[in-house]
Amino acid sequence: MNLPAELFPHSLDWFLHIALPVLGAIAVFFMAIAIRRERRQAASNAERSRELERLSSELIRSNRMKSEFLANLSHELRTPLNAIVGFIDLLREGVYGELTPRQSVPVERIEASANHLRILVDQVLDLAKIAAGKLDVQPETIMLRPFLLDVTTEMESLASEKGLAISLTLGAALPTVRADPTHLRQILINLIGNACKYTDSGVIAIRAAVSDEPDSPRSRQSTAKRWLCIAVTDTGPGIPLVDQQRIFEEFEQIDAGPRTHSERRGTGLGLPISRRLADAMGGDVTLESEPGKGATFTLWLPLNGSD
Ligand SMILES: Nc1ncnc2c1ncn2[C@@H]1O[C@H](COP(=O)(O)OP(=O)(O)O)[C@@H](O)[C@H]1O
Ligand SMILES: [Mg+2]
């Protein structure tokens, strides 16, 4: 197609003086809108993140207040409780005169309830301390053989009261471990205590060995190459899969037992405390069980190169 040559200077003029400024103005207009929208978005994002920050610090603060309140409350409850337990002891020893058989029964009930309450208060205090980050962790080098023998001996009377046998198997060349002995003992006593409490007949087997094949969710995430695992296996009723997570939550029990039977009732705090204590030492507590086939609770502790 042939266009007349004089059209070109004219269209160029038109383009330069009319179309270009109009296009420029439109572009500037849209850019201004985009910038405004961007600014508004940035302002609302900043506002939202300030709000989130405020909410999260409020949450942390109220959580800390809750833990402090629980810690103080448990501490305050301990003093009168110790007095109650002390006076029950005196009553039972006959310091205020021999108890008649009729009086002995309620006094025994008071004693069982007071002991239950004392354990509950101690455990709530432990949990509150862990939650408030005030758990005192004092790692020491622990020789496992004498340590585990000692804990097992301590639990033997509880097992034999129920006619249960306890066996301890220690792997060859058990290393020393750096851990807080009080916490380690508390975890093992909880696990062995549960094994005794929930098993009616058979054996409680405790096995300690070193593993380089981590088998707990927590240990798989960790960089530690070697793990000390202490497994407590019982021949009790076992734990259904649906309950295996929740029993590690506070106050969760499969069968809380009759209210009057304090010993059987438990508190539902032993396992959550055990797992958190293990966590504070970089470890974990795991469970393998099938109903009717007993349960194995395993404590995992990371071993560093020199252990
Ligand atoms: N070895 C076990 N065999 C069967 N059930 C168990 C065993 N250990 C724990 N459980 C179940 O897990 C629940 C929670 O245990 P725990 O936190 O120690 O609380 P508690 O023993 O005070 O009830 C127990 O109430 C019981 O139902
Ligand atoms: Mg328990």
> 293 and 269, same structural domain?
yes
Which residues have any ligand 1 atom within 6 Å of their CB? 190, 194-195, 198, 234, 236-237, 239, 247, 253-255, 266-271, 295
- Which amino acid residue places its CA nearest to atom 25 of ligand 1? 253
Q: What is the pLDDT of residues 245-258, one digit of tens each?
A: 999 999 999 976 55
The residue to mutate among 187, 198, 248, having the most atoms of ligand 1 within 8 angstroms of its beta carbon, is 198
pLDDT, residue 107, reads 94
User: Cα of 305 to ligand 2 centre, how many Å?
Assistant: 33
Q: Are 125 and 70 in contact (CB under 8 A)?
A: yes
> 17 and 63, same structural domain?
yes
Q: What atom of ligand 1 comes closest to residue 190's alpha carbon?
A: 18
> 255 and 159, same structural domain?
yes
pLDDT, residue 264, reads 59
pLDDT, residue 270, reads 95
- Residue ending a domain, among 89, 115, 135, is 135
pLDDT, residue 57, reads 93
User: Cα of 64 to ligand 2 centre, how many Å?
Assistant: 26
- Which amino acid residue places its CA nearest to atom 27 of ligand 1? 254
Mean pLDDT: which of 1-5, 262-266, 297-301 is highest? 297-301
The residue to mutate among 194, 233, 235, having the most atoms of ligand 1 within 8 angstroms of its beta carbon, is 194
- Residue ending a domain, among 135, 158, 189, is 135
**β 203-211/165-170 pair status:** parallel
Q: What atom of ligand 1 comes closest to residue 248's alpha carbon?
A: 17
pLDDT, residue 11, reads 76
User: Cα of 205 to ligand 2 centre, how many Å?
Assistant: 17
User: Cα of 126 to ligand 2 centre, how many Å?
Assistant: 14
C-alpha distance from residue 247 to each of 108, 280, 285 (Å): 29, 19, 12
Q: What atom of ligand 1 comes closest to residue 236's alpha carbon?
A: 3
pLDDT, residue 37, reads 94
230 exposed, middle or buried (CB, 10 Å; 0-12, 13-18, 19+)? Answer: buried
pLDDT, residue 5, reads 56
> 94 and 9, same structural domain?
yes
Question: Would you state the structure tokens that stand for residue 229, as one six-digit string?
Answer: 């695992």
pLDDT, residue 132, reads 80
Q: What is the pLDDT of residues 249-291, one digit of tens each?
A: 999 999 765 555 555 578 899 999 999 999 999 899 999 999 9
> 170 and 126, same structural domain?
no
pLDDT, mean of residues 181-196: 96
Q: What is the pLDDT of residues 54-64, one digit of tens each?
A: 999 999 899 88
User: Cα of 268 to ligand 2 centre, how many Å?
Assistant: 6
The number of domains in the chain is 2
pLDDT, residue 216, reads 64
> 51 and 111, same structural domain?
yes
User: Cα of 68 to ligand 2 centre, how many Å?
Assistant: 24
User: Which structural domain, as residue segments, surrounds residue 250?
Assistant: 140-303
CATH number of the domain bearing residue 280: 3.30.565.10
C-alpha distance from residue 168 to each of 146, 157, 204, 226, 301 (Å): 12, 15, 9, 21, 18
> 158 and 125, same structural domain?
no
Q: Is the dihedral of CA 257, 259, 265, 270 positive or negative?
A: positive
- Residue ending a domain, among 109, 135, 161, is 135
Structure-derived torsion over alpha carbons of residues 164, 154, 110, 236, reported in degrees to the nearest 10 = -30
